[in-house]
Amino acid sequence: MQTLKNLFSKRVFYYFGEISKIPHGSGDMQEIADYCVGFAQKHSLRYYLDDAKNVIVYKPATKGFEKAEPVILQGHLDMVCQKTADSKIDFLRDGLELYLDGDFLKAKGTTLGADNGIAVAMILSILESDEFSHPEIEAVFTTDEEIGMLGATALDMSKLNAKRMINLDSEDEGVVTVSCAGGADVKIILPILRQKKNGAALKLTLCGLLGGHSGVDINKNRLNADILMGRILNEIAENVQFDIISVNGGDKVNAITNRCEAVVLTQNEEELINEFNTCLEQIKTEINSFENGFEYDVLSVGSGEFNVMDRSSTSGVIFALCQIPNGIIKMSEDIENLVETSLNLGILKTEENAVIFNSALRSNKEADLRKLMAEMVSFAEKTNAESYVSGYYPPWEYRASSPLRETYKAVYKRLYNKDAKCEAIHAGLECAVFASRIEDIDCIAIGPTLCDVHTVNEKADIYSIDRTYKLLLEILGDLK
């Protein structure tokens, strides 16, 4: 039976254990960067440290590989810090408490940080060893990936000579990732006018939708509660007059909103409630096969004078909710079943003088991402709203010709006698930053099986880590 002590006798797991002793949540990079610098100094390896705490460690080629092109091995140093309600850990001061659960490595009451600590541990193990054949290695440890790829964006790419790169931030063994989406956030601020008005106020609530990640789950037919609320308000407005006081849904721009609340004022309370219930029963019948947890509620807030949106503003907000682009825009023509371009209305927020629409845009093609950004700006102009684009990061576009991808596929076939899967993802990877700034770089992303990352249930398959490490060494040995 595997024990933690036996596991840590293997160098990859030893280094993961060492990393886990060091606080390294996003934004807290000094100590983990110092550890990497100390490692380089201990092993007499040349290194580079920048102001963003990125670290590059250089290792010369082994005998017989002196003329081979160099290769980048890349992972990020930061982890997402989440803990259970009863956990006493201070992520700024304490290490993680690791334990084994069958074939899985976990952390007690917290995220494990295998995303991307396992990558860092693999790379350190390779840098330490003289037993493996490889070309010159440029080991790149970036910072603050989880909060916007900040380290990679700040990195001086002139410090790198390699034109091929293996990123180790994938989470599915046997899958090589060959493309990822770029993205941007667009905030639309729709001005509203208010007036004092008497009537009965009602709170309309939609909840229980599945929601999910706006990249990974955008193709799973999951309804957006904000968009659904727009449809409902529009249908009710055809039969009953009302004014909107507020409409709010979602708190993360990259999450498909699963709850939305609208507070409205009417002089026809009973009629509006009946219309709402009739409309929602019909919708519930329509969506029950794929959103069977959906619920709705209407609650009286009271009668009296309220500060409501005027008629023009109420109509404008409903129009915007019904017309704002959302969901899948385009499927890939190169990769089967890949959502190539999409956007998600993740935050809908009412303020005193405006309604805010925050959307996350994604595309695996640069031109399509730019086009979608322009369309959102145009939509804002047509609705007399202001728009702001922020958080742009480039896509990593699929390469029809990739020698590194072909090497991976050949090695995988040789080791396991089956074909590897090549996939693109509709989410971001640091490969995109490198590909946008190093001309003609050839990238792949691989990794072991990790489950429930970014949650307190995160776990890493220890045998998958062993196999992925062996695969990585075999790939390096083929890169002559």
Catalytic residues: 78, 145
The candidate with the shortest Cα–Cα distance to 416, out of 361, 470, 342, is 470
- Sequence-distant (6+) residues with CB within 8 A of 460 are 104, 105, 106, 112, 114, 118, 448, 449, 450, 451
**Closest to 114 in 3D by CA, of 98, 135, 126:** 98
Contact 356, 186 (CB under 8 A): no
Q: CA-to-CA distance for 371 and 374, rounded, in angstroms?
A: 5
Residue 110's CB is within 10 A of a number of other CB atoms, namely 24
Do residues 83 and 165 make contact, with C-beta atoms less than 8 angstroms apart?
no
Q: 């509660």: which residue's tokens? A: 225
Give the position of tokens 């201070």. 90
Residue 279 in contact with residue 296, Cβ under 8 Å?
no
Kindly tell me the burial class for residue 351, based on how many C-beta atoms sit within 10 Å of its own C-beta (0-12, 13-18, 19 or more): exposed
- The crossing angle, in degrees rounded to 10, of helices 225-237 and 311-323 is 130
Helices of type H across 238-310: 269-287
What does the DSSP assignment read for 50-71?
-TT--EEEEEPPPTT-TTSPPE
* Tokens 């092993």, residue located: 43
